[in-house]
Every structure is written in structure tokens, then in C-alpha cells.
Amino acid sequence: MSVHTLGRLPLAYQPAGTFGTDPWWLVVLKAVGIFVFLVVMTLLAIWWERRVVARMQHRIGPNRVGPQGLLQSLADGIKLALKEDIVPRAADKVVFVLAPVLAAVPAFMAYAVMPFGPQVSIFGHRTMLQLTDLPVAVLYVIAVTSIGVYGIVLAGWSSGSTYPLLGALRSSAQVISYEIAMGLSFVAVFLFAGSMSTSQIVNQQTNLWFAIPLLPSFLIYATAMVGETNRAPFDLPEAEGELVGGFHTEYSSLKFALFFLAEYINMVTVSTLATTLFLGGWRAPWPLSLVGVDPAHPEGLLNTGWWPVLWFIAKINIFIFVFIWLRGTLPRLRYDQFMRIGWKILIPVSLLWILAVAAIRALTLDITLDRRTLFVWVGGVLAVVFVVSLAWDTLAERRGAAGAQDVPAAGFDPMAGGYPVPPLPGQSLPAYADLAVSPVSARAGSAEPDGTRDPVEGDDA
Amino acid sequence: MNAAVTVVFALLGVLAVGSALLVVTTRQVVHAALWLVVALGAVAGCYLLLRAEFVAWVQVLVYVGAVVVLLLFALMLTKAPIGVSEDLDAGLAQRVVAAMVALATGALLVTVLVDGFSGEVIDQGATGGAPAIGASVFRSWVLPFEVLSVLLLAALVGAIVLSRRDVPGAGAADSVAGGR
Amino acid sequence: MRRVNVYAPILVLGLLSTGFAVVSVVAGSLTGPKRYNRARLDAYECGIEPTPQPVGGGRFPVKYYLTAMLFIIFDIEIIFLYPWAVAFDSLGLFGLVEMVLFIVTVFVAYAYVWRRGGLDWD
């Protein structure tokens, strides 16, 4: 009856390759390697972000410290270490110190199961280019990263200050909202790979990267990962105009640096997860993967040895570039728009897509139908539906804004709480009700939130 | 289980019970939530040592990553004060009753577990991994699984009803300050 | 003992990163200057005098709580979807029917929340 009497598992479920057999020195070497990799990636990503955004804005960007300004982030880190470490008087001291540690440690730990490459030889020892792998590796990653939310919530609360508390609430609500969409987008991958082990998932993509048959999953994941990492255009927790710095407003010195580090490592982690689950992991892109393929070497030259590390890092950096590109291009969303995308579009679309994938898979399990073609078609159609629904939503938003005049002006109290307060768009001062400007012309040039509501579903909102 | 695993298991058990005690004795409400995280994490470690890998990470994901976050949200929405809350302590009579209820519950659970599983030996080869759980849930335990979805439905409806704004006199449940 | 060994590297990485984080936090308080300034230790509110916070007052929108609750419910749905997905090929059509039933029931709840405005932020 109990779970453990159910016997052996299907082979595909176990990690591909040998794990848990490395000698201690190699384990420590790999762990240090991952640590250094993440820190260096962070320093480089910050530099790259500043340079790329500068180029997009016709500026030069940091170019003084080191060649091309490469050491700028390092210099910034040292500068932060020399700043005063402030602990506000109203803070809960223990939790205030604990929060940055809680943000940084899970960020590092999530990387333990990421596959950098296939089996290689390190000092004459055959080993996988991956710290370790678990049969439930992807679950491990999302479980560990979900602990990172504590860093945010506790930082905001323990500061004993208003802005950080607001920022922390927004930030964590945002992270947990997009975690659902993210978790759902993995289901189709597990269906295909029959495993949650990262090495096995990469192995299953030898012939076809999952991004192609599972395009909707990939798009949902790509959207969710931007929301999950609080990056532009979803960087609402850091909306400077509203919240100062967000949850880490009260932090300074190296504690602040740890939050910064955790944020960028999370960016690298979600990019790596996207690479591993959807873009073939460390596998060489298509034409290159054919180099040196012969019956003796079915994998080809560029998929063996240390080459894959190159593809792996290149793919991650493409994602990071997209992150930067989004930041350089798109304006920030409003909170209600952001939540609508997460809860009303991503979640239902991914649930439907999971059922579609499962249905196709169940129906073709016995029949030797060309499943791949079927998937590409269905996936294409769903991707179109996804994009159309996004566009429709934007249009509905515009239409809603146009019809916003009839928002009731009731309930506005010009002396709410004993202080004079200005009316929001859609509200008007009682004495000047007939003179009030219509909300549409009032908000023509601004991105102020208004009383917009969808006429269809706004029954009691 | 070999000796080392048994020792670690015992240590995790002590950690779980110790931090659970701190949850109910600390006078700082947010610290109580944090000790709860430690207790739940230690239980996850126990699952891991019992080869229930999938359940262990689900424990972390759902209990540590979601349930306690919900708790913390509730504390923040009511602006949990920093520092000691004096009203967090109960009277002596309440303490005695609470301790007795806790002991009774513990005794009941231990009896049931010992009665049901005392002879069980964990198969070192098989794992409590996802396919095993999947096969078990979707073959042997179909009905409880479907009933669970109804439970989730009830929970959601409850959540909505709690936060309704169109009920007369429920305006107090709505926002007062601090953003939209 | 193969299986515990799989977790040993995770432990090593965890210790390494915890050590780094703790050292950074401690170092930050040692390397920086320390000049007492009363205003610096106040809550930061863009330079103005911090507004006194009312005790037990100034609450937040209950929406946040609702979001966390929705999160738990969908999290539970996800943890059932994972083993189902991994074991799907051996479950076949029966597994699909079961999951359709489950998802439809949760979807009813979801539709109810949507209808009641639980997903709106305005």
C-alpha cells in the first residue's frame, strides 16, 4: 500500500549518467566552480546591462575601470563594502541581518543541479559536468528558490519602515503569482521527458529542443521568468516613483550587495532553467551539432568534451541579453495589468495547453502518428491564441479606458483622514462636479492608474 | 538505515520538536513564524532520509514556500509589531489545557503510526519518487485525489467569501491605507 | 549509500554559500565607517521626518492575502501535476481522464474567483 513498496522505476526517470560517485576533492572543486561562476556571471551581467542599456540610450556607459569598464561592478562592490552599515533604530536586528543571507543562499543553492555539460575528464577522473542531479531536480530548484521569498518579505518587515514593507508585499505577491505560471509551464516538459532530472531532460532533447514542440510552454515560461525575477517591464517592486527602492530601501553596505547579488543570480538561474528545459541545455545548436557526427561518435564533436560549456554559457547570455533588451525598451506595467497577465492569461492558457499536450500524447501513444508534426501545429495555433489574447486584452484595456467616464464619482472625500487630498482620475471635487475635466482628457498624457474596469466582469470589483 | 542516518534522523527530529516548542513559546509573533519554518524544514529533512524524495521537496515547496508565506502575509497585513508582544502569552489555565491537547494529539499520532507501520522496512532500491507517487495516486487513490479537488474548490470559495466587499458591513475588511 | 551521496554536493554548496553570505554580512559591519547620526538611523522617507505609524492602524489591502491563498491552491494543483506528468506514459488514457476531472473542478473554483473579482487589482 505504501509508496515505497511499488518497486522499480522506469529507467528514464533516473538521472542520466553517474552521480554521487565523485571523490570529495572533486565535489568541493565543482561547488567552488559553481560559486565562482555565479559571482563572475553577476559581475559581468551588471557590466553588460549597463553597457547595453547605455548603447540603447545613445550613451557610452561605464568604460573607465578596466578594459571597456569590465571591472566596474567589482569596483562598485568594493565601494559598497566601504560604506557604512546602517541598521535602522526601528529594525528587528536579528531578522534584519538574516534577510540578506536568506535571499542569497537559496539563489546559490538552486544552481546545484544545473547541467553544464556531458561527461568530461578532470585530472584523469571521469565525471559529469554538473554538481549533482536528483530524480526530482526541477522540483528541487523551484522549492529552493521559493525560500528566496523569505529574504524579500523579512527584509521589508524587519526594516520597521513603510516603503520597504510596501515593496516587500508587492514583490512577494508578484513572485508567488508568477511562480504558478512557471510551475505549470514545466508540466509539458515532464510529460515529454518522463523525468524531472535535469540531465535526463537535456538527454531527451538530443534530436529536438523542447522549445519547438512545446512553444506555448516556452512562451509562458519566458513571460513568467521575467515576472519571477522582478525585472522590467515587471519591475513594480522597484517603482522608484512610488516605493523608493522597494524592500531593500533601508539596506546599505554589503547587505545591500547581497540582495543585488541574489537578484542577478536568480536571473542567471531562470535563464539556465530555460536553457536546460527548452533549448537543449548544453547541446550545440543545430548546424553545429552535426559537426563530426559518424557512427563511432553519434553525439558529434561539438557535443562532447568541454565544448558544450560554450553553448551553455552562450545560451544563458542570450537570455540575459533579452532581459536587458526588455528593460531598455519597455515601460513598466501597472500593478493591476501585471496581475491580470499572471492570473487571467498565463494560468488558464497553461492549464489548457497541458491538457492538450496530454490528450495528444495519450491518443498517439499507441498509434505511430507523426507526433512531432502534430505538436508543432497545435503548438503554433496555441501560440497564436496566446498572442491574440494578449493583444485583445490590450485593446480591451484601451476600450475600457475610453469608456471610463461613467465611473461613479461617489465616495470621494476631499478631507479623508483629516488631510486634504486631491481627487484621483474619475473622481471629482463635490463643489466642482460639473466643471470637472473628463477623465480621458485628464489622463491623456499620463500613465496614472484610473478607475478602469472591464465592463464584462466588473460586477462587484 | 545505518547508524549515521539514524543519528541524523534523530537530530532532525530534535530540531523539529525544539523549534516547534519555540513557535509556541516565543513572544515575537514573526519569530514564531520563522521557527515554524525551521520545524517544517526539519520534517522535510526527515522525509529525505526516509527516501521520500518527492514528498520532502513538496514539503519545502508547499509548507515552507507557500503556507508560511501566507502566514507572514497575514502578519504584515495587520502590521505585526517589531519586538515583544505582551498579549501573545496565554494564562496558566489555557497553557495547561493546550499542553494536554498537544500531548493527547501526539500520543494519538504515535499510536496510529506505530500500529500501522511498525513492521515496515524501507526498500533501499525503490524510491518515493514522482513516478511511484504518480502511479500510486492515479491508480490506487483515485477517489481521494478527486475529492481533494473539491476541497480546493471549497477553500477558494471560502477565501473569496472572506474577502468579499459587497456584503453589508464588510467594508472594514477592505483596504485602509498603503497602496491600492 | 548512493542516494545520500547525491545530496552531499548540495550540502557542500549550501555551506559554501552560507559561509560567504555570513562573512559578507559581518565584513560589511567591520569595513565601513561608523559615524553616529541620529537622523541616519530613522526610517527613510525621502528626507522628511518619518511619519509616526499608528499602532495597529494603517492596514493593507486584503487582496494580498487572497493572492497568497490562491497561490497555495494552485501550488497543490502543481504538485499533483508533476508526478502525473512523469508517470503519464504508464497511466495512459485513464490518467488523462482523471486529470481532466481534477483540473475542471479546480477550474470551476478559478472561474468563480474570476467572476467575483478576486483576480482584479484596481
Q: Tens of pLDDT along B68-126?
A: 988 888 888 777 777 777 777 778 888 899 999 999 999 999 999 898 888 777 765 55
Q: Tens of pLDDT along A152-190?
A: 889 888 887 778 888 888 888 888 889 999 999 999 999
Q: Which is more confident, A138 or C6?
A: A138
- Asked if residue C100 has pLDDT above 70, the reply is yes
- Asked if residue B42 has pLDDT above 90, the reply is yes
The DSSP code for A343 is: I
Q: How far apart are CA A97 and CA A151, in angstroms?
A: 10
Q: Across the interface, which of C65, C85, C87 has its CB nearest the CB of B135? A: C87
In DSSP notation, A16-48 reads: SS--S---HHHHHHHHHHHHHHHHHHHHHHHHH
CB contact under 8 A, C75 and A180: yes
Percent share of chain B, pLDDT over 70: 86
Average pLDDT over residues C57-81: 82
CB contact under 8 A, C61 and B174: yes
Give the residue on B whose Cα is nearest the Cα of A165: B76
Percent share of chain A, pLDDT over 70: 79
Residue B177's pLDDT is what? Answer: 38
- CB contact, 8 Å: A441 with chain B? no
- Asked if residue A444 has pLDDT above 60, the reply is no
Grid coordinates belonging to A397: 484595456
Backbone angles phi, psi at A294, to 5 degrees: -145, 170
Give the residue on A whose Cα is nearest the Cα of C74: A180
Residue A6's pLDDT is what? Answer: 38
The DSSP code for C50 is: P
For residues A171 and A246, the answer to whether their CB atoms sit within 8 Å is: yes
Q: Tens of pLDDT along B48-66?
A: 888 888 889 999 999 998 8
Number of helices (H) and strands (E) in chain C: give both, helices first. 3, 0
Nearest to A188 by CA among A7, A323, A382, A393: A382
Residue B53's pLDDT is what? Answer: 85
Q: Which chains touch C (3 or more CB pairs under 8 A)?
A: A, B
- CB contact, 8 Å: C16 with chain A? yes
pLDDT classification of A32: cutoffs 50, 70, 90? very high
Percent share of chain C, pLDDT over 70: 89
**Peptide bond preceding A233 in cis form (omega within 30 of 0):** yes
For residues A415 and A355, the answer to whether their CB atoms sit within 8 Å is: no
Span of A50-64, A409-423, C58-72 with lowest mean pLDDT: A409-423
Residue A241's pLDDT is what? Answer: 63
* Residue numbers in C near A255 (CB within 8 A): 24-25, 28
Residue A447's pLDDT is what? Answer: 42
* Residue numbers in B near C94 (CB within 8 A): 138
CB contact under 8 A, C53 and A19: no
* Residue numbers in C near B78 (CB within 8 A): 56, 59
Q: How many inter-chain contacts (A to B, CB under 8 Å) are there?
A: 120
Q: How far apart are the first and last CA of chain C?
A: 55
Average pLDDT over residues A238-244: 67
Strands A125-129 and A117-122: antiparallel
Question: A419 CB contacts (<8 Å, ≥6 apart)?
Answer: none
Q: Across the interface, which of B5, B58, B135 has its CB nearest the CB of C79? A: B58
CB contact under 8 A, C109 and B164: no
Q: Which is more confident, C54 or A364?
A: A364
Domains and CATH numbers, chain C: 2-115 (1.20.58.1610)
Nearest to A249 by CA among A168, A169, A173, A170: A168
Instruction: Give strand ranges (E) for A81-157.
Output: 117-122, 125-129
Average pLDDT over residues C54-80: 79
Span of A33-42, A240-249, B42-51, B85-94 with lowest mean pLDDT: A240-249
For residues A232 and A326, the answer to whether their CB atoms sit within 8 Å is: yes
C34 alpha carbon, distance to own chain's centre: 35
Q: Please state the ipTM of this predicted complex.
A: 0.89
CB contact under 8 A, B179 and A170: yes
For residues B33 and B72, the answer to whether their CB atoms sit within 8 Å is: yes
For residues B138 and C98, the answer to whether their CB atoms sit within 8 Å is: yes
Q: Tens of pLDDT along A77-125?
A: 899 888 888 888 888 888 899 999 999 999 999 999 999 988 888 887 8
In DSSP notation, B35-48 reads: HHHHHHHHHHHHHH
Q: Which of A1, A6, A89, A340 to mutate to test the interface with B (most CBs of B within 10 A)?
A: A6
Residue A383's pLDDT is what? Answer: 80
CB contact under 8 A, C112 and B176: no
Q: How far apart are CA A159 and CA B82, in angstroms?
A: 9
The DSSP code for B171 is: G
Q: Tens of pLDDT along A222-234?
A: 999 998 888 878 8
Containing C111, the helix (H) or strand (E) segment is helix C88-115
CB contact under 8 A, A34 and C40: no
Look over chain A and give the mean of its residue pLDDT values, rounded to a whole number.
80
Residue A390's pLDDT is what? Answer: 80
Percent share of chain A, pLDDT over 90: 26
CB contact under 8 A, A249 and C44: yes
Q: What are the distances in angstroms from CA A5 to CA A195, A408, B55, C89?
A: 20, 64, 15, 20
β-bridge mates for residue A122, sequence order: A125
Q: What's the predicted TM-score (pTM) here?
A: 0.83
Q: How far apart are CA A16 and CA A427, in angstroms?
A: 62
- Asked if residue C60 has pLDDT above 90, the reply is no
Residue B162's pLDDT is what? Answer: 76
Residue A286's pLDDT is what? Answer: 80
Nearest to C119 by CA among A426, B155, A335: A335
What distance in Å separates residue B69's CA from the closest CA in chain A?
8
